[in-house]
Amino acid sequence: MSLDDYIPQLARPANVEQLAKALGVATQIFTFIADNSEPERIYRRHLIPKRAVRALPSVPVEDARGIVTLSLDSFDLSKYRVVWEAHSPVIKHAHKSAARVLERYLSRPGALFPHEAAFGYVKGRSTRHNARRHVGAKRLLSADIQDFFPSITLARVELALEAAGLQPAVTNALGRFLTIEGSLPLGLNASPMIANLVATPLDHDLSALAKEWGLTYTRYADDITLSGDGELPTREIIETVLKRHFFRLNKSKFRTSKLGQKHYVTGLSVADKAAPHAPRAMKHKLRQELYYIEKFGFLEHLSRGGEGGTEQHNVNRLDGTVNYVSSIEPRLAHRLRAAWKKVCDENDIAKSFEPRPVIQLRPASWFVDEAEIVHPDGTRLLALCLADVLEPGRLDTELRTLFAEEAGDAFGTADPLSIIQKGLHWSDATWSQREAVVKLIAASPVRVMVAMAPLTSPSEYTTTYTDLLCEILETALKIADDAEIAIHVEENRSKVSKADVQGAVTRAYTELETKNQRRPLQAPEVNIVSKGATPCCCVPDTVLGALHRYAVSRKDGKEGSLAVTLFERLRNHYSVIFDHHANKIYHHRSPFKRW
């Protein structure tokens, strides 16, 4: 296996503890989710009106504390999709981490997943890519799988995971972790990927059917499309194939059309042989709105047009429509975006997302540390890390236990008193100590953000530090509007003072406040601490050390292998990496590569 294409080997874990560790989830959290028989304890249930009944309201059935506010008896559930949301950051992190590891394993080279005909919820594929496969076809067949997600049961998930190579001893536990009330839920991170996995045999059969009939087949989630210039299969044929794979056809949505009639695939017109097009009605309405806003002004247009929702809601709606049409039809993008920018500038409006109403704020602990590192081209960089530790009390205890074990090691080379007083620093630790700390952090709910920039001279240290911290905070604060935040910064009086840090925090918070962007109710509190007194301070230090060693590691040699392995254990914890030296932003869709 190449170290440049590292894949977690999920075929190896033979018990729940090994599996949880591989997924980057603490065992007790994994088992708590898998064994939970009351979903309302850890999830919030939303009722979303189905497309045909959008006049109905969207309904969160539980509030942020899981308290039922509306009775399900008062709703016709057949008209709604049930969407689940984990309201605890720890549960959310567990599902995100597991989904990312599963995706890397399932889509490994040679696994033939996702199927080439599957376009929904697949990286690099979209509704436009799906529709492009059918442009210019004379005949079109559209079908819909009824209750796609709910029909995927726990047993079917287990069988799909086992077929993907996981050991039978762990597939039931993982299946229970991924399902709610015995079926695959809408809303959880891994659900779309698992749905595609379960539907892969269906994709094989429908692809074979399409080849036999001289047609093109694609599937976008529960939307099935077959197209070509010849005859199309009957509804009964499609229904038979679906039944073979334990899916049901939604007979009310089965449709065939000929060129000249409405030819739509995943909402896009495919009548033109050159490319898909956004719906004509959508483009007409958008051009009309932009014209009237320019003529009467934004607020006057809203009052004349009777558009519902707040002013900001309509700004966001129009901004989204402009971006959507531009992405579908690139030839229109420049003109549309220029017109929208002119409207925004003249009316002093901009897309933003106001803080959400929160019943009870959650406490959040962020830990900040920095390191000076050297790029292979000789450039000295200042790297700064913010670690959002979701269970600081538990991780503090586990780290103290580890520090005590290392201090008492009769064969250890580190100074035991230094370990007890200062904790383990990456630069001073042995590779075995680094691995022990990394394993603890990897199985803990921790989210990290990193920013790095060239450090041209020692005199610019403080300025570079505060600029990097501001950049991270502008992202971190947007997703923490439900929190009361305490930022813990490792003591570094010689270069950065508490006043410097507080100034950066105030600057980032004020910027979001001025733009009315999503943010906490108040600016975070800043504390200057030491690693020894606050063991969680070693988290950003470890994260930066692992990132640096991975970035400069050689492709051969034992140390290179260790550096890659340690970084890969932590990879899912890196939310974003701002690299100003390379002018790149890395995240889960664009992962960090070695220098």
Amino acid at residue number 571: R
On the CB side of 28, CA atoms within 13 Å amount to: 5
Position 589 scores a pLDDT of 84
**Domains of the chain (ranges, CATH numbers):** 16-52+74-269 (no CATH), 280-347 (no CATH), 363-587 (3.30.420)
Position 304 scores a pLDDT of 85
Task: Return d(Cα 340, Cα 345) in angstroms, integer.
Answer: 9
Amino acid at residue number 84: W
Task: Return d(Cα 423, Cα 500) in angstroms, integer.
Answer: 25
What tokens were used for 313?
């809601």
Beta strands in 91-195 (DSSP E): 139-146
Tens-level pLDDT at each residue, the chain (595 residues): 455 678 899 999 999 999 999 999 999 999 999 999 999 999 999 988 876 544 555 555 554 444 444 555 555 667 788 999 998 999 999 999 999 999 999 999 999 999 999 999 999 999 999 999 999 999 999 999 999 999 999 999 999 999 999 999 999 999 999 999 999 999 999 999 999 999 999 999 999 999 999 999 999 999 999 999 999 999 999 999 999 999 999 999 999 999 989 899 999 999 999 999 999 999 999 999 999 999 999 999 998 877 778 899 999 999 999 999 999 999 999 999 999 999 999 999 999 887 777 778 899 999 999 999 999 999 999 999 999 999 999 999 999 998 888 888 777 766 666 666 667 788 888 898 999 999 999 999 999 999 999 998 888 999 999 999 999 999 999 999 999 999 999 887 678 999 999 999 999 999 999 988 999 999 999 999 876 678 999 999 999 999 999 999 875 555 678 899 999 999 999 999 999 999 999 998 899 998 9
432: left (phi over 0), alpha (psi -120 to 50) or beta: alpha
Task: Return d(Cα 261, Cα 137) in angstroms, integer.
Answer: 12
C-alpha distances (whole Å) from 589 to each of 138, 189, 586 are: 36, 14, 8
- What does 261-318 look like in DSSP terms, one character per residue? B--EETTEE--SSS--B--HHHHHHHHHHHHHHHHH-HHHHHHHHT--S-HHHHHHHH
Task: Return d(Cα 435, Cα 416) in angstroms, integer.
Answer: 18
Task: Return d(Cα 247, Cα 241) in angstroms, integer.
Answer: 9
What tokens were used for 192?
């779309």
